[in-house]
Copies of this chain bind each other. A is one copy, B any other.
Amino acid sequence: MAKAKTKGARQGAARAKREPAPRASQSGKRREQILAAALEEFSARGFSTARLDDVARRAGVAKGTIYLYFRDKETLFQELVRAELSPVVAALEAAPLADLPMRVVAERLVELFVREIIATHRKNVIRLILTEGPRFPAVAEFYYREVVAHVIAVLRGLAQRAVERGELPNDSLVRFPQLLAAPGIVAIIWSGLFDRWAKLDAEAFMRAYLDLIFGKGRAV
């Protein structure tokens, strides 16, 4: 109503300024632009502190456009998690690890984790879940169902088989498969908190863990 007053002129000007006529329209391009921008902003400022105005600006889009693709801020976060992590979970479940010796399995897992998480922006997604999850049960539940539960199941299966083959001295890893993932989690947290004062080499850290629980100076 009263809104239209100033609009016409300003908008026209803004429009004229835009370099190549936009209008690429089709394709989920927009959606991906927005997701990428959201990841950047959420990583840098945290979910609740990040401003959708900034996400929009970074995506090269107006704020309203975000709401054409996502119901609200929290849904945007959730879709971000799904888009980033589901493929990795699928890759893990598809990996043919079942019949390898446990130590080799563990090394493969470290490689996978470093390559797909630590070395990518996905570590920021994980960090976001760890830091924001407690306040967003919907996100935490989604993450638990779609990621954690699957990972735990895979790890438990591997540990179980290793115990049966006599490659592990006890059933600790069967009862608590989380133990296998703990250093990975800690590496991500550490880097978010303390890298400034004391860098932690995540890969060396995880390999040292393998040396600790499997060989190198120790008979199984």
In the bound complex, residues from chain B placing their C-beta under 8 Å from that of A199 are: none
Whether A173 and B212, one on each chain, are in contact in the complex, defined by CB atoms closer than 8 angstroms, is yes
- Is A157 at the interface (CB under 8 A from chain B)? no
Tell whether, in the assembled complex, residue B186 and residue A205 are in contact, meaning their CB atoms are under 8 Å apart. no
* Cβ-defined partner of A141 (8 Å) among B144, B148, B197: B197
Q: How large is the interface on A (under 10, 10 to 19, 20 to 34, 35 or more residues)?
A: 35 or more
In contact, A137 and B196 (Cβ under 8 angstroms): yes
Question: Which residue of chain B has its CB nearest to the CB of A173?
Answer: B212
| A194 and B169 alpha carbons, distance in the complex (Å) | 29
- Asked if A144 contacts B197 (CB within 8 A), the reply is yes
Binary contact track A191-210/B, C-beta < 8 Å → 1, others 0:
01110111010001100110
Q: Is A127's CB under 8 angstroms from B134's CB?
A: yes
How many monomers of this protein are in the complex?
Answer: 2
Residue of B134, B172, B189, B194 touching A46 (CB-CB under 8 A)? B134
Whole-angstrom distance between the alpha carbons of A178 and B187 in the complex?
9
| Partner of A185 from B49, B185, B204 at Cβ < 8 Å | B185
B134, B183, B205, B211: which contacts A193 (Cβ < 8 A)?
Answer: B134
Residues of B within 8 A of A145 (CB): 197
Which residues of B lie under 8 Å from residue A131 when comparing CB positions?
A: 130-132, 134
Are B135 and A217 in contact, CB atoms less than 8 angstroms apart?
no
**Which residues of chain A in 139-192 are interfacial with respect to chain B, using CB atoms and an 8 Å cutoff?**
140-141, 143-145, 148-149, 169-170, 172-173, 175-176, 178-179, 181-183, 185-186, 189-190, 192
Q: Which residues of B contact A183 (CB under 8 A)?
A: 178-179, 182
Specify which of A145, A211, A219 lies most central, judged by the most chain B CB atoms within 10 Å of its CB: A211
Partner of A194, one of B135, B148, B215: B148
A–B complex contacts, Cβ < 8 Å, 8 sampled: A129-B193, A131-B132, A134-B193, A141-B197, A170-B211, A179-B212, A186-B186, A189-B189
